[in-house]
Amino acid sequence: MMAVSDQRATTVTSVPWWNDRRIRAVLYQVVVLAGVALLVAFLVSNTLDNLSSRNIATGFGFLSREAGFAVSESVIPYNPADSYFHVLIVGLLNTLKVSVLGIILASLIGTVVGVARLSRNWLVARFAAAYVEGLRNVPVLLQLFFWYSLITEALPSPRQALNPLPGVFLSGRGLRFPEPVWGPTHAAMGVALLAGIAVAWGVARWARRRRERTGQLFPTGRVAAGLIVGLPLLAWLFGGAPLAMDVPELRGFNFSGGLSVTPEFTALLVGLVLYTGTFIAEIVRGGILAVAHGQTEAGLALGLSRGQVLRLIVLPQAIRVIIPPLTSQYLNLTKNSSLAVAIGFPDLVSTANTAINQTGQAVEGIAVIMAVYLTVSLSISTFMNWYNRRIALKGAR
Amino acid sequence: MTGLATASLVAASISFGSTSAALAGTTLDAVKARGELICGVHTSLYGFGYPDEKGAWRGIDIDMCRAVAAAVLGDDKKVKYVPLSAQARLTALQSGEIDMLSRNTTWTLTRDTANGLNFTGVNYYDGQGFMVAKKLGVSSAKELSGATVCVQTGTTTELNLADFFRANKMELKPVTIEKYEEVTGAFLAGRCDAITSDASQLAAIRANDTPNPADYVILPELISKEPLGPSVRQGDDQWFDVVKWSLFAMVEAEERGLTSANVDAALKSPDPNVQRILGVTGDLGKGMGLDNKWAYNIIKMVGNYGESYERNLGMGSKLQLSRGLNALWTNGGLMYAPPMR
């Protein structure tokens, strides 16, 4: 017996180093890492060689040169005398604008439709199903073309613009509506709005603590709505209730004055929201179905209404299932916004593409686009992961 | 394929592609070995480069591809046409995806230098103009302040447009779309008051894409010089020469009165110039690494510059563009070939 165990011991210790699992694991990683590093070094040096042998200028120096081309819409002031860097920022802000609005609207539509698909009302459920199945299975690029041509072809020219409300004009050039003439009162209203939100948040916190302590309910929703709407309204009344509006007017080729939403932006937003909304609806439906039916029955047995069961019991549990796939949809929507180039909305890709074409610096331009999308995507998923951890069941492993 | 996808591919192919592609002399050898010329052309621009009802490529830029194929391979049909968007064209040439670019591309200093291209000459002298619907009642480009203008991205047009409105202190609202067909569509749908492009291209849109050409008017101002011509990659002098002299041979043939119809008879011409051009005497082709029959093949298979112009842009086409600047220098135009000797 002794001999056998001795033999075993010697077998274990006499394993050569190249057969040791731990050493091998490290070794493989070192080899792979070195391989990747070599590949990157090869690509970079080969790229530089090829660029210089073809006399193509390299480097990011072009970013400070004058861009020289006009952009149709911009969040910040821009004119063609500004630099390429400036025009790329314009494109980035346009991308962020459509992405943020798109994420908010797609979440709303997705939640409503996802719940509606589970409705016991036959018509509501069928309608939601038709929307989801209809739009989910058509490529989003085609949908963008569809909405764009619908807007530009079906709507009349500016001179025959539809006038559904006083001061509001709808034509093939987009939607124009009156803009308040900005003054100090409006700034005060902004401050009042922020104050209203802050106080409402405090009230909601206090009401929850009180409910947890005493079990008494407090009409948080109504009080918060009153604060958020009421405080700015008070500020407006005290500021002398200014009503001056900048109403759009037909002048020359098109309307001037007021605020406008262009067909390109509208088509992109509608296309992205309706498309991504279908996926979010399915995620919401899956999340709700993942909550055991016993929870609903228990809630109903306690005398809660169906709405209360959904809002207080089912959705808070479903959201833990919903968040991870929802993150992917937010990322998809942001990345799909780059299809804007097809319908003429000046997003990041569109402006960077033009910069690439005017300067010929494709490698640098693509590097900028990739770096920006990587940053935006990682920011979204970092935020969503943080939120996911925050709402996770504490202590449940 | 979107412009981004193309640009990414190009960026990738510049990274992975072998350095040798850009070495002197290799493009000609590569084309000969392949037995086919790869020519970058427009996706569909009437008169310049477009597939006809039967799917055959036609246009003055297509004739340029055919001429080079005839000179190099002795057969004008040995061409693979690669339709490229305005966005994709320059990088497609840079990366070696195509042997030459023949796609109404404006010769500019930046493209000739920093972009790594060499322009081999001009096959159409153009200028940028504006087209509007007649019912708008506009008669001059100077009246376009505040107008919405449709324009294609990735073009010199886009820069000239911004320059023109800035110089004249006019307000510009551009609608910038990547694909030629989508830009035209947006204009015809009324999304824009005006569309801007090279005047020849506007004529092509009016003749071919509008429901009723008489409803549209091309404004008189030309706001830029747009010399359009074929281009090759920098760093391959031999190939540069081949494409350059293929174009010159077509111009020279017109000046000498050589056409696809009479070129066989001209082989017996006593004129020593004609004999040299057609390769009956001398070694003009050898110097470029071509057969001495190179120019004969171009004239026989494609025709001279004037023939190409008439059938694609002139009175033999829907566009009915007069020769203007594109007439031979002997007729007051700018078309001029250096001596072929």
A253, pLDDT greater than 90 = no
With CA atoms as reference, report the closest residue to B175 among B190, B262, B113, B163: B190
H-state helical runs in B2-155 = 3-16, 26-34, 60-73, 86-94, 109-112
Q: What are phi and psi of B229, to 5 degrees?
A: -165, 170
pLDDT of residue B119: 96
pLDDT of residue B52: 92
pLDDT of residue A295: 92
Angle (deg, nearest 10), helices B237-255 and B60-73: 110
**Which H or E run includes B152?**
strand B148-152
Burial of A164 (0-12, 13-18, 19+ CB in 10 A): exposed
Question: Which residues on adjacent β-strands are paired with residue B148?
Answer: B173
Q: How many CB atoms lie within 10 A of CB A187?
A: 12
Q: Which of A55, A261, A266, A350 to mutate to test the interface with B (most CBs of B within 10 A)?
A: A55
pLDDT of residue B7: 56
pLDDT of residue B18: 46
- Please tell me if residue B161 touches chain A, with a CB cutoff of 8 Å: yes
Residue B266 banded pLDDT, cuts 50, 70, 90: very high
Please compute the mean of the pLDDT values over residues B305-326 and round it to a whole number. Answer: 92
* B173 vs A contacts (CB less than 8 Å): 72, 254
pLDDT of residue B4: 55
Find how far residue A322's CA is from the centre of its chain: 16
Min mean pLDDT across A159-173, B177-191, B251-265, B312-326 is at A159-173
* B114 vs A contacts (CB less than 8 Å): 55-57, 359-360
Q: For A298-316, what is each residue's pLDDT tens digit?
A: 999 999 988 889 888 998 8
The model's pTM is 0.77
B71, pLDDT greater than 60 = yes
CB contact under 8 A, B172 and A70: yes
Burial B322-339, CB ≥16 within 10 A → b, else e = ebebbbbeeeeeebebee
Contact A350, B172 (CB under 8 A): no
Which amino acid is present at B181?
A: E
Q: Which of B151, B176, B224, B234 to mutate to test the interface with A (most CBs of A within 10 A)?
A: B176
CB contact under 8 A, A172 and B189: yes
DSSP line for A139-157 = -HHHHHHHHHHHHHHHSPP
Query: How confident is the prediction for chain B on average, in pLDDT?
Result: 90
**Pairing status of strand B37-42 against strand B100-101:** parallel
pLDDT of residue B1: 41
B176, pLDDT greater than 70 = yes
Q: For B56-69, what is each residue's pLDDT tens digit?
A: 999 999 999 999 99
What is the token pair recorded at B218? 């091309």
B238, pLDDT greater than 90 = yes
Q: Is B150 helix (H, G, I), strand (E, B) or coil?
A: strand
Q: Which of A39, A50, A140, A250 to mutate to test the interface with B (most CBs of B within 10 A)?
A: A50
A250, pLDDT greater than 70 = yes
pLDDT of residue B23: 45
With CA atoms as reference, report the closest residue to B206 among B228, B221, B179, B188: B188
**What is the distance between the alpha carbons of residues A188 and A173, in angstroms, rounded to a whole number?**
34
A397, pLDDT greater than 50 = no
H-state helical runs in A215-292 = 220-238, 263-289
From B24, which residue of chain A is nearest by alpha-carbon distance? Answer: A53
Q: For B82-107, what is each residue's pLDDT tens digit?
A: 999 887 888 899 888 999 999 999 99
Q: For A353-367, what is each residue's pLDDT tens digit?
A: 888 888 878 888 999
Please compute the mean of the pLDDT values over residues A40-46 and round it to a whole number. Answer: 88
* B87 vs A contacts (CB less than 8 Å): 353, 356-357
What is the token pair recorded at B250? 């077509």
**What is the distance between the alpha carbons of residues B169 and A213, in angstroms, rounded to a whole number?**
69
Q: How many CB atoms lie within 10 A of CB A331?
A: 19
CB contact under 8 A, A68 and B163: yes
pLDDT of residue B93: 92
